[in-house]
Amino acid sequence: MTLDLPDLAAMDAFGARIAARLRPGDVVALSGGLGAGKTTLARGIIAALGHRGEVPSPTFTIVEAYAPPAVRMPLVHADFYRLERAEEAAELGLDDYREGAALIAEWPERVGGFAEEPGCLAVRLEIAGKGRRAIVEPGAGWQGRWP
């Protein structure tokens, strides 16, 4: 399924739509090149889950965690761009962070991707003129939730 995201307002609305359907254990896998809008969409999801204030990009920290009551469910926002080996995700303690939490993953292919998980909502962002386009592929666990 392809979605047109002509501006930042459309991106926020898309983030809110994902947030409304998100459950603990899910992964939102955000792929797309540099500047495609992955962090922007992640911020839209995190804001719609209740977070107020800044959402730092996890470019350098790799992992940022959010906990209730500030957000509706435990949340992990990760950016795997800087990882060189898939095993580094485990070394960071990703499994522990993910316990009972939803994961928003930028550059998921750096750690082997999450396509084998039924709770994976794969979102590929592409630049389209001044805006963006999203190609959304829901895993089996999203049946009845997406679209």
Ligand X SMILES: Nc1ncnc2c1ncn2[C@@H]1O[C@H](COP(=O)(O)OP(=O)(O)OP(=O)(O)O)[C@@H](O)[C@H]1O
Binding region for ligand X (CB under 6 A): 5, 7-8, 10-11, 32, 34-40, 130-132
Q: Shortest gap between Cβ of 114 and ligand X (angstroms)? A: 17
Binding segment for Mg ion (CB under 5 A), chosen from 35-43, 87-95, 122-130, 134-142, is: 35-43
State which residue, 9 or 67, has the beta carbon closest to ligand X: 9
Contact (CB, 8 A) for 90 and 97 = no
- Residue from 19, 32, 36, 39 binding Mg ion (CB under 5 A): 39
State which residue, 8 or 135, has the beta carbon closest to ligand X: 8
Residue 92 DSSP label: T
Residue 76: CB partners within 8 Å, gap ≥ 6? 63, 64, 65, 66, 94, 97, 98, 101, 102, 103, 104
Q: Shortest gap between Cβ of 59 and Mg ion (angstroms)? A: 6
State which residue, 51 or 145, has the beta carbon closest to Mg ion: 51
Contact (CB, 8 A) for 46 and 56 = no
Q: Which does 31 bind (CB under 5 to 8 A by kind): Mg ion, ligand X, none?
A: none
Q: Shortest gap between Cβ of 30 and ligand X (angstroms)? A: 7
Exposure string for 91-122, b = 16+ CB within 10 A, e = fewer = ebebeebbeebbbbbbbbebbebbeebebbbb
Q: Which residues bind Mg ion (CB under 5 A)?
A: 38-39
